[in-house]
Amino acid sequence: MNIVNLIKIAFKALSNNKMRGLLTMLGIIIGVASVITMIAIGQGATQGIQSQISEMGSNLIFIQPGGDSFGGVRQSSASMESLKYADYDRISKETRYLTAVSPVVSSSGQLIYGSNNKPGTITGVNQDHFEINRFRIDEGDMFTEQDIQSAAKVCVIGQTVIDELFPDGENPVGKIIRFQKIPFVVVGTLKPKGFNSMGMDQDDVILAPYTTIQKRVLAITHLHSINATVVREEYTDAAISEIAAILRENHRLREEDADDFTIRSMQELSNMMTSVTGLLTLLLASVAGISLLVGGIGIMNIMYVSVTERTREIGLRMSIGARGMDIMAQFLIESIMISITGGAIGVLSGTGIATAINSIANFPASVQGWSVALSFAVCTVTGIFFGWYPAKKAANLDPIEAIRYE
C-alpha cells in the first residue's frame, strides 16, 4: 500500500472522530504555544537588557575601593579611603585606552526648595561624567572647570528632581535649592532618560562639582569611586590591566599584596545578565515542555483506544493482504498528523500570544525562528515516539483473532 493511500486512510479515520482528535491535539497545542511564548519572553528580556546596557554604554569601567580587614574584622568597601585624587589624575593622564574619566563622591540627604522637599543623593563629578553616562543638557549649562577649581555651590538636576521640587512648572535654572542646609544654584537641567534595565530612575540625579561635595558637604579628601569609558569595548581588558598597574604602583602594593581596589566593567554586567536570563529562559521552556510530554501521553492513550476500537478493521485489512508494516505505518501517520497539526496551531497561538504581550503589555517578547523549528521537530518526534507502540501493537495482531474481536 503506497504512502498516499495510507495518508488518505489516516485522514478519514481522524475525520470520523473530529472532537476526539481536537482534544488530543489540545495538549500539543498548549505545549507548543507555551514553549514558543516562554522562549519569546526570555529572549525579549535578554535583548531588552542588552539594549539598555548598550544605551548606558557597554564600554564603562567602574573603579572602587576594595574591602580590607582590620583586627580580624572585614571592612566594607564603602568605608575604605584608598582612592585619592592622585589616582584619578594619573589614570586620566597616563592611560591609553580611556576617552573619559571622572572622580565620583556622593552624599544622601534632603533636598528642599520652598515648601517642597524630597530625599535624594547629590553626586560630585567632573564634566567627563556627562559623556560617560550619556547625560545631555536640556536647559542652562553644565558647571565649568572654574566651578570645580573653586568648589562652587552649583548643580545640574534631572527631570524627576524637577517634577518633585518644581511641580508648578517653574523653570529651575537660576533657582537655589538646599541640600543639608547648603544652598546650590541650579545652572542646568538634564534631558530625561527614564528607567534603566535594573529599574533605576536615571532622572533622579543631582550633579555637582566633586570638589564641592568633598569640601563643603562631606569634608573628605578621598574619592568614593572613579568612572571611565574605554575607546572601544574590545579594549576593556587592556584598560583594566593598565588601570590596575597604575593603582598598585600608586598605592605602593608589593607583588604579594592583594589589590585594595576593585575594577568592574559593564561588559561583566552584560555577560552576567545574559547568563541569568538565559537560565531563566531555559527553565521556563523546560516547564512549558512538560505540556508537550503530557500531550504526547494523550496521543498514546488515544491511539491505544483507536487500535482497540478498530481491531476488526485491522483484521479485515490484514486478511485481504495488508502487511504488518502497512498497519503500523497507518497508525503512525495518524499519530504524526495529530501532533503536526496541533504543532502548527500551537505555533500560530504562541506567536499570537507573544505579539499580544509585545503590543499590549509593552514587553519586548521576541519570537525566535529556531524555537518554531524546534517545536515542529519535537512535534514530529512526539508523534512517532508516542504513536509507535500502539502502531506496533496493531501490526502484531493476529488477523483471525482480530476479525473475531467484538
Task: Report whether 179 contacts 122 (CB < 8 A).
Answer: yes
Question: What is the reported pLDDT for 150?
Answer: 95
The rounded distance, in Å, linking the Cα atoms of 208 and 152 is 9
Burial grade of 124 (CB within 10 A; 0-12, 13-18, 19 or more) = buried
Residue with cell 562639582: 209
Task: Output the CA–CA distances (angstroms, integers) from residue 211 to 16, 105, 224, 296, 346, in the order listed.
Answer: 84, 9, 12, 69, 62
Per-residue pLDDT, averaged over 142-169, amounts to 94
Task: Output the CA–CA distances (angstroms, integers) from residue 12 to 21, 187, 404, in the order listed.
Answer: 12, 80, 24
Compare 150 and 48 and report the one with higher pLDDT.
Answer: 150
The rounded distance, in Å, linking the Cα atoms of 40 and 83 is 44
- 311-360 confidence digits (pLDDT tens): 677 677 777 776 777 777 777 777 778 878 888 888 888 888 888 887 88
Residue 72 has pLDDT above 60, yes or no: no
DSSP-derived pairing of the beta strands 154-157 and 73-74: unpaired
Round the average pLDDT of the chain to a whole number and report it: 82
The rounded distance, in Å, linking the Cα atoms of 363 and 369 is 19
Banded model confidence at residue 403, pLDDT cuts 50, 70, 90: low
Burial grade of 344 (CB within 10 A; 0-12, 13-18, 19 or more) = middle
Question: What is the reported pLDDT for 179?
Answer: 94
DSSP-derived pairing of the beta strands 225-230 and 182-190: unpaired
Coil, strand or helix: which one is 191?
A: coil
Q: What is the pTM of this model?
A: 0.61
- 160-187 confidence digits (pLDDT tens): 999 999 998 899 999 999 998 899 999 9
Of the given ranges (55-69, 93-107, 153-167), which has the lowest mean pLDDT? 55-69
Return the closest-CA partner of residue 141 out of 151, 126, 129, 155: 155
Residue 55 has pLDDT above 80, yes or no: no
Task: Output the CA–CA distances (angstroms, integers) from residue 103 to 12, 155, 222, in the order listed.
Answer: 77, 16, 10
Other beta carbons less than 10 A from residue 56's beta carbon: 19
Q: Which residues contact 33 (CB under 8 A, 6 or more apart)?
A: 346, 347, 349, 350, 353
Banded model confidence at residue 74, pLDDT cuts 50, 70, 90: very low
- 204-256 confidence digits (pLDDT tens): 999 999 999 999 999 999 999 999 999 888 888 899 999 999 999 999 988 88
Residue 70 has pLDDT above 50, yes or no: no
Per-residue pLDDT, averaged over 366-391, amounts to 75
Q: What's the gap between Cα 64 and its chain centre?
A: 26
Q: Of all helices (H) and strands (E), which one includes residue 319?
A: helix 311-319
Question: What is the reported pLDDT for 50?
Answer: 66
